[in-house]
Amino acid sequence: MTILLASVRTEIAGYLSTLIYVYTLLIVLYIVVQLLFAFGVRPPYSRASDAILTFLRDVCEPYLRIFRRVIPQIGAFDFSPIVAIIVLSLINSLIVNGLIHG
């Protein structure tokens, strides 16, 4: 029973870690797309690119908005995505260590 419980905890920790990793990658992709838009690079309009950009905005903005309320922009620089990724990393390490070694 103990081995089964440890296995389940390890699986859940791995799943949560992967989920946080994918969300971090989505945030990085969203930041890169926003930087490209800031430099004037616009993809030609298509339904596929519009769907992808809308998906990235809808997924990333609610989480980033939490940090944008607290951290003001300094000039043209927005440091909230950096802080958001650091918080995700801390949550990941606390959850994984808590579930596996807890």
Per-residue pLDDT, averaged over 2-26, amounts to 84
Which of the four pLDDT bands, split at 50, 70 and 90, describes residue 2? low
Tokens of 4: 């089964």
Residues 37-91: tens digit of each pLDDT: 888 887 777 888 888 889 999 999 999 999 999 988 888 788 999 999 999 999 9
The region, left, alpha or beta by phi > 0 then psi within -120 to 50, assigned to residue 12 is alpha
DSSP-derived 3-state class of residue 74: strand
Residue in this structure with the two tokens 């989480």, named with its chain if needed:
63
pLDDT higher than threshold 70 for residue 15: yes
Domain-wise residue ranges, the chain:
2-101
Helix 80-101 and helix 47-70, axial crossing angle in degrees, nearest 10: 80
Q: Is the pLDDT of residue 16 over 80?
A: yes
Predicted confidence at residue 1, as pLDDT, reads 63
